[in-house]
Amino acid sequence: MALDIDQLTVRQAVVGLRTGAYSSVALTQAMLEAIATRNPAVNAFVWLDEADAMRQAEAADRARQAGQQGVLLGVPLAVKDVLNVDGHPCSCGSKILRGYTALYDATAIARLRAAGALLVGRTNMDEFAMGSTTENSAFGPTRNPVALDHVAGGSSGGSAAAVAGGMALAALGTDTGGSIRQPASFCGCVGLKPSYGRISRYGLVAYASSLDQIGPITRTVADAALLLGVMAGRDALDATTLDQPVPDYNAALTGDLRGLRLGLPREYFVDGMDPEVAVAVRAATARCRELGAQIVEVSLPHTRYAVATYYILAAAEASANLARFDGVRYGFRATGEGAPIDMYKQTRAQGFGCEVQRRIILGTYVLSSGYYDAYYLRAQKVRTLIRRDFDAAFAQCDALLTPVAPTPAYRMGETMDDPLHMYLGDIFTVTANLAGVCGLSVPCGRTAGGLPIGLQVLGPAFGEERVLRVGHAYEQSRQGEAL
Ligand code: GLN
């Protein structure tokens, strides 16, 4: 009988493999079959090399027979198309990287590999991680497996859809302004954005370097804790990783919230928010109180400036980071006559999609002389105020409870002609990136129409143990309920 990977968690797979209930070959085969059947409707994966996946699985089974161990030995994981995996394409959802093959492993990937994990396939994303719907991809949009006429969220929509759609046990995403947490919430999975500096960004194609973080999208909080523990820690190849010991995140999953103070930021429960989201998050808060937490109201007064601040800074950093894609060094090159400068222009005009071009233009503008002080510098100052808001809030409580997004998943196409509408949907997630703190998205209910809703748990920088503890206790208390 075929192995059913629909609900299987990473932890269950680890046990199944260790006890010999099934081999990595069987597990990987089941994953490939699920992808073959389900991916055409969802478009979560944009690239898959079945032979390569099976070779990795066979090697893992052989390693186990030879007595080797590894916390993730033989577990297949899916990877967002923005992380370098040696020998796999890395196209960032863009035409401009067509034909590019990664030459090395990102540090996060190398650590997963060292723990025995298999890296299977590439998941769809908004081009260069710019977007909130996974509709801005050169590979076509990803659909939400829970409701195919809705978006999967973004930019790590392919990863969330793979996990929610029964095609992967867990997947890697990246989060610059919500791209792990929001798709996780739209698809009904768990998503963790670690603190800035917790996981090395080496080998992650940069969008906005001061905001980007890698993190897991999983079916349970315990799986997120497991994957975080493998990937976290100082890396000499990324100077922004902090030299802080990696705690045993599994030990943080106590199952109760006794003694914790959880803050509800006033500014995150706003008019215009979807009422079903508000009700679900309020109910989750009440549940956390029952689990032993004390709930306090706090204020993050600069929240209303967060979207504007984020879109100035992210665009500015993107305009600098994306300058390297010029048709000379990587991937696609426009053909035609003329001077090299024309080749650069044509390559970038043809290779980048609309949203990426919009961000590059915006970013170049806010950095240009005469406007730098008015936009970029001012945004940096507001960023400091937002960070101080969090410092003040975390002086009063251990973690914060908020919605992940003001609405459930959008209908396909709904935000395509209205980028501002899409940007505003990031209001509750961009703040964590601006402040460098950590955030977890956990399913907390569904709308009457069946769309998943996510609860966000925010913790201070390097406070992952707290958000995992809160998310896990909440999740356990709702076990057996269809979320
Ligand atoms: N939606 C946000 C943006 O478009 C966040 C994306 C992300 O986190 N990568 O920039």
Q: What is the whole-number distance in angstroms between the Cα of residue 247 and the centre of ligand 1?
A: 29
As beta bridge partners, residue 464 has none
How far, in Å, is the centroid of ligand 1 from the Cα of 147?
Answer: 22
Contact 179, 134 (CB under 8 A): no
| Closest atom of ligand 1 to CA, residue 174 | 9
Q: What is the mean pLDDT of residues 169-179?
A: 98
Domains and CATH numbers, the chain: 1-483 (3.90.1300.10)
CB atoms inside a 10 Å sphere around CB 361: 11
d(CA 253, CA 440): 14
Q: What percent of the chain has pLDDT over 90?
A: 93
- Mutation to probe ligand 1, out of 155, 182, 196, 404 (largest number of atoms < 8 A from CB): 155
Cα–ligand 1 centroid distance for 286 (angstroms): 30
Residue nearest to atom 5 of ligand 1 (CA): 177
Pocket of ligand 1 contains residue 355 by CB under 6 Å: no
Is pLDDT at 110 greater than 70 in this prediction? yes
pLDDT of 287 strictly over 50? yes
Beta carbons of 116 and 71 less than 8 angstroms apart: yes
Burial environment of residue 283 by CB neighbours within 10 A (0 to 12, 13 to 18, 19 or more): middle
Bridge partners of 457?
Answer: 401, 440
Is the minimum distance from the CB of 131 to ligand 1 under 6 angstroms?
yes
Residues 6+ apart with CB under 8 A from 166: 5, 6, 7, 34, 38, 145
- The DSSP annotation for 51-100 comes to HHHHHHHHHHHHHHHTT---TTTT-EEEEETTB--TTSB--TT-GGGTT-
Q: Is 80 a catalytic residue?
A: yes
- For residue 156, give the nearest of 139, 142, 168 by alpha carbon: 142
Query: Which of 83, 92, 130 is the best mutation target for the ligand 1 pocket, counting ligand atoms within 8 Å of the beta carbon and taking the most?
Result: 130
Summarize pLDDT for 89-104 with one digit per residue, the tens.
Answer: 999 999 999 999 999 9
130 Cβ below 6 A of ligand 1: yes
Any ligand 1 atom below 6 A from CB of 179: yes
Determine whether the shortest distance from the Cβ of 218 to ligand 1 is under 6 A.
Answer: no
Model confidence pLDDT, tens digit, residues 269-281: 977 899 999 999 9
Q: Facing residues of 445 across strands? A: 453
Average pLDDT in the 458-474 region? 98
Q: Check if the beta carbon of residue 203 is closer than 8 Å to that of residue 253.
A: no
Q: What is the mean pLDDT of the chain?
A: 96
Confidence of residue 1 (pLDDT cuts 50, 70, 90): very low
Q: Would the pLDDT of 235 be above 90?
A: yes
- 126-153 confidence digits (pLDDT tens): 999 999 999 999 999 999 999 999 999 9
Ligand 1 pocket, residue 405 CB under 6 Å: no
List phi, psi (to 5°) of 313: -70, -45
CB atoms within 10 A of CB 373: 9
pLDDT at 74 over 50: yes
For residue 450, give Cα distances in angstroms to 164, 166, 338, 413, 441. 14, 17, 55, 19, 18
Q: Is 207 in the pocket of ligand 1 (CB under 6 A)?
A: yes
Q: Is 179 a catalytic residue?
A: yes
Lowest mean pLDDT among 181-190, 255-264, 390-399, 418-427: 418-427
**To which residue do tokens 């909130």 refer?**
132
Give backbone dihedrals phi and psi of 458, rounded to 5 degrees, phi first.
Answer: -105, 140
Q: Compute the distance between CA of residue 300 and CA of residue 423 in angstroms, rounded to an integer.
A: 19
> Which one of the listed residues 23, 24, 80, 195 is annotated catalytic?
80
Which of 83, 179, 354, 356 maximizes ligand 1 atoms within 8 Å of its Cβ, making it the mutation to test the pocket?
A: 179
One-character DSSP codes across 404-429? SSSSSPPBTTTTTT-HHHHHHTTTTT
For residue 420, the model assigns a pLDDT of: 86
Query: What does each C-alpha distance from 161 to 30, 145, 226, 483 come to in angstroms?
Result: 17, 6, 20, 15
pLDDT band at residue 482 using 50, 70 and 90 as cut-offs = confident
For the stretch 318-337, pLDDT in tens is 999 999 999 998 889 998 77
Residue 130 phi/psi, 5-degree rounding, is -100, 100
Assign 2 a pLDDT band (cuts: 50, 70, 90): low
Using a 6 Å cutoff on CB, does residue 426 contact ligand 1? yes
Number of Cβ within 10 Å of residue 240's Cβ equals 16
For residue 319, indicate whether it is catalytic. no
CA distance 416 to 227: 33
